[in-house]
Structure 1
Amino acid sequence: MALVNVRRDVSDAFYRYKMERLQTKIEGKGNGIKTVIVNLSSVAASLARPGSYVIKYFGFELGAQTNIDPADDRWIINGAHDAPKLQDYLDGFINKFVLCKKCKNPETDVVIKDNFIVLDCKACGQRTDVDIRLKLSGFILKNQPKKGGKKDKAERKAARKAKQLAQQNGNKENGNGSGGENSENGSNDNSNENGSNADENDAGSDDEFTRRIKADAQVLDANNEVKDDDWAVDMSEKAVKARQNQLPDQFRQKLVLGGEEEDEDGEGGGNTVYDALGDWVQQEATKAGSVNKVDDIRVYVKAKELGIETKYKTVLVLVQTLLDENIISQIPKRAGLLKQMITSERHEKALLGGIERLLAAHGKEHPELMASDKIVKILHLLYDKDLVSEDVVTKWGTKASKKYVDLATSKKIRRGAEPFLTWLQEAESEEESEDD
């Protein structure tokens, strides 16, 4: 799925605020012709605005009828309208109803008070007014969310993080910080090889990762003239089997791609480019002396060479090869790379599936990994690093599945995850009661 900058006047490829490019489909003929915006929900979520605001804005600008709350997620505008034209109109919506008037940052919340619409910027703290004369302004004022309704997902998550941070700071002031847990999970050889725990957030941040990609891209461009046979991978069945036979037994066992419904997109399973990526990561780990010394940028470039940097199965491979029994200290360091790869709910599900396989593979020699406190810590890290969303992890926790591991193991992992899932549910209930 092609991504564009929220502000299309910003040409920086590593501008942090992205959204999907609008995708449309024309249906019907004659007077019944209509335009379906296939991914409007996703685009609206990237802008932290209700889909009804976006579709109604298009209707006002085009003078066309729209459906503002479709139960089937089919957002329709009467008439034929191509995607580039709608993308231009979307720029107008973003400028008027999303961007802060001071810093031009899209991190704003809509605040309605005394029949005025205000954009509250979380980046610079400025509050700026929206022109009340705009047609959409009238629609927003007439369609205010009901009091006591659920908060926006992003708002709920931000509130939880703030509350969690406040609790941690309070504990540290009282001399009861989480040092015990950190020392248990962070003072292993893995931490020493990759720097101190204090640097984990910087090392794993998406900003740091994109900065490194940008720097390395200049070097790659300078050496762009590469012959095909310099990096091509022999994908014949004989060659793949030969590479697999050179790998340690434990790795051959844990790198599993098969599973029900995994071939829906035609990516295939078994002897594929995914095996080639897994082989390469393991070989790099052997050369470096540790999987923790395999560089994120090189992994990303290799996936790109193989043409699978956007595929959900790539996430499955990376979880099983870049992470091991030291997963708790590794997640923050690999968060930048994983966040670059995870672009949809399907990717998130693959991430959770990979975690299940990893726990099953390493849990035999390291049974402490299957303990509830470790599983909860892992899920907290994935959630806090924005690698899994609330909806996906909640749905994952409701039903065991034998897609990635045997059913008994799947149930055991979910039982261990119950405190985290309960925390999510209780936090949402608390926020709803606060809104009443």
Structure 2
Amino acid sequence: MRLKLLPVLLLLAVAPVVGHGEDLMDAYRQSIANDPVLATADAQRLMVAEGVPIARSALLPQLSAGLELDQIHSGGSTQTTDSNGNIVDTGGGGHVRDRNLVGNLSQPILDLSAIANLRAAHASDDAQEQTYQAALQNLYVRVASAYFGVLQAQDMLDIDRSYEEAYKSEYDQTSARFKNGLSMEADVNQSKALYLYIKGIRISAEDNLKDARRALQQITGKPVGTLKKLRDDLPMQGPQPDDEQAWVDAALKTNPTVLAARYAVSSDEHKVTAARAGHLPTLTAGVGYNKFGQWSNAMPGTAAYGPATTTVGLTLNIPLFSGGLTHAQVKQALYQRDADQGVLESQRRQAARDAANYFNLVKDGIEQVNSGRESVDAAQKSLASMRAGYTIGTQSMTSVVIAIQYLADSQSQYAAAKYQFILDKLLLKQAAGTIDMHDLEAVNGLLQ
């Protein structure tokens, strides 16, 4: 009876549980709203986008106005000017008030540095937009990976629990047989060792499941409930197109991380131009308005208001020497461009490597999943044979235990192969920069 119970427990451990739990799209919708990594990328994208109007402002009209009020106190005689322009001594102390109203309007006509800075801001905005797209695409993979991490941890815990119960029953039965003189002490020690060993593994599996659920909660920001499980009959479809170089070429063209690095280099080129323009003249048109008035409390009614003056002109500014500032800024911009070119090349090589690697993993994953399924079938048949042999005395208990452990390993590897096959397909599309929500919905359709 003990040996018949083991395969039943094992089958129950890996059998899918039908229910109405949360699915992958539920986790994705929660992560879109609550994932701090994506929220940070979005805030950075919006922050960098504001650099465009900031840079553009240097090329737009600048309008300013000012009002200056001064009051001059005098303890002795006060002198002022009458309407004929003669200086009059009032003979007493008092104060004089001045009011000056000014306004200025300027419009840059030629400023090559500001133009280059605007172009650099646009390129930086494009780079940050691609960085956000990379974060969004990475979210698809992180959610799927964390979701399957919970499912795989749950599978391992179910298997370990079934083993613990089976070995506990075996240990109890062996102990009873030993007390009745029907079993050797070595069998008792062996069954006890196996029971304690699998008990420790089960405790570790419980901790792994708790951590896996926390990993998913870290992304979604919500407690993890019952999750839908992956069905067994997965479609074994290879990558389309079935050409490794095509995926590598796509990664070099559309991978958002590569595109972000490329835009960063473009921004650096414009910043070099802007720094070099520090040696060039700038031309600005300006309009100024000024109105001055003065009055004194010592001579009421003698307030004098000058006529308003308007000034229109052009200002040409020619830089001659700035203490080496411009030269140093040019070198700094060149070094930054060289550094970002190195980053671009690193990203290109990484994207090409990832695309080739995940292409091969998906291709090999089909064989691994099929082999894993066949391995489980063979392990189940082997366990049945060992059990029958033990019943008639041709096989030892050790052989049965080995067969049970082999079945457990086969089931674990088969489950891991299925999860990894799906993740590798998502990672391949991520490397190419083509992954989107439809891919996640297709994976969600494999759940039950």
Structure with the larger RCO, 1 or 2 (CA within 8 Å, 6+ apart): 2
TM-score (norm 1): 0.20
**Higher helix proportion, which one?**
2
TM-score (norm 2): 0.20
**Higher strand proportion, which one?**
2
Please tell me whether Structure 1 or Structure 2 has the larger radius of gyration of its CA atoms: 2
